[in-house]
Amino acid sequence: MQADFKVVLDACVLANAGVCDLFLRLAEPPRLFLPQWSHTILDEVHHTQTTKLKRPYPSELADYWRSEVTRAFPEADVLGHDRLLPVMTNHEKDRHVVAAAVKGGATLIVTFNLKHFPAEALLPWSIEACHPQDYLLTLLAMSEGIVIGKIAAIAMEDGRDPRDVAIHLGKSVPAFSSRVLEILGDSNE
């Protein structure tokens, strides 16, 4: 399976380590969507990682994360979106995100910050904004085996049980976490 559905991942999604890890793994073969972002989005992630977290990343680690994510997903970088900024009508701080979606041909923005992306500002561009939890639930419904497999891979790499990974994700995406725990519980009976 290789899905080519383009999705812009907002900085707030990419800066959430656990949620980001799962989304990026779901964008690896067999990918369930094609991730997109801009340099501005990655700049915001870097700023969050180095200044806004309870335990900020050292700058070198944030730089390394950025270089690795751009190396792993070279097709994700949307260029030339800046000239669209003046015609965007969503929240000024996040106009660059909508501009990147328009320029990149994405029809979905995944963000925790839905209030900055009102439907009336996205409608002219045929774009929707979606909470990460809702999109993860959609991907789980479409490809349960792949999503559960990616969670199991995260668990294996960290030496944890998949349930622990799901519980940790529950801090940010509780309904998704609950559904994964139901599935994992059913699979072991």
Q: What is the pLDDT of residues 121-172, one digit of tens each?
A: 999 999 999 999 999 999 999 999 999 999 999 999 999 999 999 999 999 9
In our burial notation (b when 16+ CB lie closer than 10 A, e otherwise), range 135-146 reads bbbebbeebeeb
Domains plus CATH for the chain?
6-130 (3.40.50.1010), 142-187 (no CATH)
Question: Is the pLDDT at 104 greater than 90, yes or no?
Answer: yes
What is the model's pTM? Answer: 0.95
Residue 31 falls in which region: left (phi positive, over 0), alpha (psi -120 to 50) or beta: beta
